[in-house]
Structure 1
């Protein structure tokens, strides 16, 4: 005698029409979203920790929204500046070119590539004329790399904590 298949939802024997999902069998009407209880037998579902979810609930419960396009992120994700981004949406605020973390600068919660950050925000060293991205000194009406602020006579860097 063949053992009857039992519905994972109601624990009763299955009739002719049933669905096999998540390693179990279900009456069509008993395979439901774990959150909203919508029947999932005729639509795409998503699994998380052995439970089935409709698309809307899965996205709302488990996916972040992209900071740039406001769409849900279901693939690879970039977490930067305390926000979440699609890889393709993590671009420079000025030129819109893709940025590869960790090689970017942040200003007021927005990402910038090296070139645009320099052009828009970085001070220029009075001695060498290059953009300054790290520690610097603001003295004598100018901005200086710490190693570029040197003694006029001996050419040694002047340390900011020396009087």
Structure 2
């Protein structure tokens, strides 16, 4: 009779694992199938969704409904708990419907956005409209051309001008 091959030690019980079919790997460790269980209800978890918190393993039901899961996220914008989808932006958590432009209130999930020096969030269009420098001749904002993220302007005597509004000589610095 051929000697049994040892695959290693079970992380759960510390005993040798001899039968590959009676074992599983999870989180980089080897377990007997009977040892890889939920720490609340002892349900076997091989091939099942599971969660770990502070080194304990939980089945999906116990993780979600027994109070062992980490505390809920709080929306930075409205201050309410986020119980479903969490949008992460600027290192903060938001309800997707709360992450909006401060001017037009457009939802910005999946959209390009800009942030001013006071950490207010804008859609790109409103950011340029509100934060762009004003032309020293006509007083209108100097906005990027259609399809561009940059605006072309002339700087002279500590003022900015639309190229078409500037009538003086350009000073080279």
TM-score for the superposition, normalised by structure 2? 0.46
TM-score for the superposition, normalised by structure 1? 0.47
